[in-house]
A and B are shown apart, each in its own frame.
Chain A
Amino acid sequence: MCDIIWCKDCDTVNYLDPYYFWNWEGKIKCAGCENVYYVYMIQGHMYKGPDKKPGEKEDILPVYADKPNQGYEQILPGTEGKTRPYNCLPRHIYLGRADMVKFSARGRPVRGWRPQPPSTGVAGSCGFTWDIQKLSPEVWEEFQEKLKKGEVSDW
């Protein structure tokens, strides 16, 4: 195998992405156990390795690994001691799923959450209003609170 290291001891697949590792030599630790593998990759091919190097210190952790034989259990980026954090992210918290947003960055209501109550007419047509007070009274309430607390700004 190459480009992935399928560790037979813990049955974990470590993914070596095609850019960082396209030409790379060094030792990489399995995300599922303590095994350290030496690899020497040239043009994406495993020129040497993966060879187990027991007791040696790794140079790097994989960014992502999973266990296909155990229900595709994921070892997500940034799992401490297992995978390296993905540093170049838009925020310090990474979700990977829909972010339920009720208020914009300046604190005013925006329809970024689901489900939304039905509001359209014939054939899905709708007008040019969003009657938030009627459709989502709880968000309207929350907005009034925010206004009182001064959490709503112009920018």
Chain B
Amino acid sequence: MKDQRVTRIEDLPGPKSQGELEEMKMPYEEWCRKVFAPGQEKTKPESLKGIRWLSTTMYIFTPHSVANLAELGAECIKVEMPRMGDPMRHTSPFNECYLYPLHDSRPMTGTGLGFTNANSNEYYITMDYHVDEMKEAFYRLVKLSDGLTECYRPGTFDRWKQSYRYLQELNPRFIYVWGGGFGYGPKVFGGSYDILGQAHAGLASVTGFHEDFGGHCTKHSNWCIDWYSGTQITVAILAALYWRRKTGLGTMIEFSQVQAATRALGYTVPLYGRFGIVRQRWGNWDTQLCVHGIILCGKSDYPDEPNPQLKYEARYAVVSAFNDADFKELCAIVGRNDLYDQYKTLQDRVKPEAQMVIYKALEDWAADKTRSEVVKTLTDAGLLAMPVMNDKEVYECEHFRQRGTIRWLDDPVFGDVLIQSGYSCGLMSKTPRRVNWIWRPVGADNVKIYHEMLGYPMSKIEQWYEKNLI
């Protein structure tokens, strides 16, 4: 019990020891480096220790909602179909990159890189759960877990007696997430993919070059909207966990991926609602700021490299000088002071006609320069510019290496892999995220989970395996 009459140093604000005092005086950057300490993640605790989550998911969107939890330290169990696994395992860019084995029974099949990052740190079991014989095992898992994420067409789990209607009876603390394209409503059974979300939700309609400039609606590279939506599920899960600490009650969350892309549209929605204006594409420029866009430079940074991505594509730079002083300086550098005289305010510059004139002038200026020359000239003058970096440059970038957001992982089963995820979702000083393994073969943890955790005898597991139930 604290004696209120005594003033203790630890109760006072400010540093408590010589060490802390030094920490307070450290240059800011050095201090950041020290508190985040990349590479020291394993010496710190995990934020979601003790949470167990089930993942009966496929593709990217719903798996990512669980991968976020797994990176934060929850124990996650991925349930896949026997022998096949998640369809994403059979996906690889141009059919080129696989890690083997998928499963001992299929020596010629690997897991494609498409599966990467969406299921890190998880335990992998197989279960054909719609078979009655496996129902008990599934329910045992539910009783021992905090929640589940699933992605089957609505009604499917209900038919199999494992929707939230049933599971909340078994475990009232259970948090159940359904993630999919649409959810209740007229298109309830519509399937969805990342690209469908991009197309349906209006995001594609504002991305890419306008028709008048020769362009088409453009897909965000990768499966961005799947990943992005999955993270928003994690927000919902964590909020539900917070509420459960107070009330002891679980919940059901229904999350639609298509909607999430609309959520990122900013002014597009209210602009239409109020004024009936339908936002269009504006290419590599910005609708609200100018200069704030990407320009094409005349020469490649790597004219002699055989890889076409270096030889032909390393030619683009971001240039940003939208404030008056910055724009004035930019005009002086490119030798077009007349542009500043003509477009003195942001409001003048950002008009479409003005943007066309200004960016044209910038590209004319850059026509005989490499991307690095352009960036160097501008940054030396104190302006903001940077190259549009490619994967090689990102890999080689000292910044990400020092911050530990790109690093090599000696994966326990697959060997030497380069990872870009997990550590890059944000640095946390006391409970950092971590990546322990990228993935595991199909059914790799069957014994661990069915035998060790759920208590089924080994003979039972072998029997199930022979019947292709796991």
Whether chain A touches chain B in the assembled complex (some CB pair under 8 Å):
yes
Q: Which residues does A use to contact B, with CB under 8 Å?
A: 19, 22, 87-92, 94-99, 101, 103-106, 108-116, 118-130, 132, 154-155
- Inter-chain residue pair count (beta carbon < 8 A): 144
> CB distance B416 to A124 under 8 Å?
no
A123 to B125, CA, bound (A): 10
Of A88, A103, A113, A123, the residue contacting B100 (CB under 8 A) is A113
A90 to B412, CA, bound (A): 28
Of B96, B309, B448, the residue contacting A98 (CB under 8 A) is B96
Residue interface mask B401-445, A partner, CB < 8 A = 1: 100000010101111111000000000000000000100111111
A interface, over-half SS: loop
> CB distance A125 to B418 under 8 Å?
no
> CB distance A115 to B100 under 8 Å?
yes
> CB distance B104 to A118 under 8 Å?
yes
Q: Does B186 contact A (CB under 8 A)?
A: no
Of A103, A122, A128, A130, the residue contacting B458 (CB under 8 A) is A122
Which B residues, 87 to 141, have Cβ-Cβ distances below 8 Å to chain A? 92-101, 103-105, 107-110, 126
Asked if A94 meets B415 with Cβ closer than 8 Å, knowing A88-B313, A114-B100, A126-B444, the reply is no
> CB distance B440 to A90 under 8 Å?
no
Asked if A122 meets B108 with Cβ closer than 8 Å, knowing A87-B312, A114-B100, A128-B413, the reply is no
Asked if A114 meets B443 with Cβ closer than 8 Å, knowing A96-B94, A122-B462, A122-B465, the reply is no
Asked if A110 meets B96 with Cβ closer than 8 Å, knowing A92-B306, A118-B104, the reply is no
Q: Does B461 contact A (CB under 8 A)?
A: yes
6 contacting pairs across A/B (C-beta < 8 A)? A88-B308, A89-B309, A103-B416, A111-B414, A125-B444, A129-B413
| CB closest chain-A residue, reference B462 | A122
Chain B residues bordering chain A, tally (CB within 8 A): 53
Q: Does B60 contact A (CB under 8 A)?
A: no
In the complex, what's the smallest C-beta–C-beta distance from B456 to chain A, in angstroms?
Answer: 11
A127 to B442, CA, bound (A): 12
> CB distance B107 to A114 under 8 Å?
yes
Q: Does B199 contact A (CB under 8 A)?
A: no
A80 to B465, CA, bound (A): 53
> CB distance B414 to A130 under 8 Å?
yes
Residues of A within 8 A of B443 (CB): 123-125
> CB distance A98 to B98 under 8 Å?
yes
Residues of A within 8 A of B413 (CB): 111, 126, 128-130
> CB distance A104 to B418 under 8 Å?
yes
> CB distance B308 to A111 under 8 Å?
no
> CB distance A92 to B307 under 8 Å?
yes
Q: Does B447 contact A (CB under 8 A)?
A: yes
> CB distance A123 to B308 under 8 Å?
no
> CB distance A125 to B100 under 8 Å?
no
Residue interface mask B383-416, A partner, CB < 8 A = 1: 0000000000000100001000000101011111
Q: Does B216 contact A (CB under 8 A)?
A: yes
| CB closest chain-A residue, reference B443 | A124
> CB distance A87 to B104 under 8 Å?
no
Of A98, A106, A120, the residue contacting B416 (CB under 8 A) is A106
| CB closest chain-A residue, reference B309 | A90
Q: Does B374 contact A (CB under 8 A)?
A: no
Residues of B within 8 A of A106 (CB): 408, 416
A114 to B99, CA, bound (A): 9
| CB closest chain-B residue, reference A130 | B413
Q: Does B70 contact A (CB under 8 A)?
A: no
> CB distance B447 to A123 under 8 Å?
yes
> CB distance B108 to A115 under 8 Å?
yes
Q: Does B65 contact A (CB under 8 A)?
A: no
Residues of A within 8 A of B465 (CB): 122-124
> CB distance A112 to B98 under 8 Å?
yes
> CB distance B447 to A111 under 8 Å?
no
Q: Does B470 contact A (CB under 8 A)?
A: yes
Q: Does B446 contact A (CB under 8 A)?
A: yes
Residues of A within 8 A of B313 (CB): 88
> CB distance A124 to B97 under 8 Å?
no
> CB distance A109 to B415 under 8 Å?
yes
Which B residues, 353 to 408, have Cβ-Cβ distances below 8 Å to chain A? 396, 401, 408
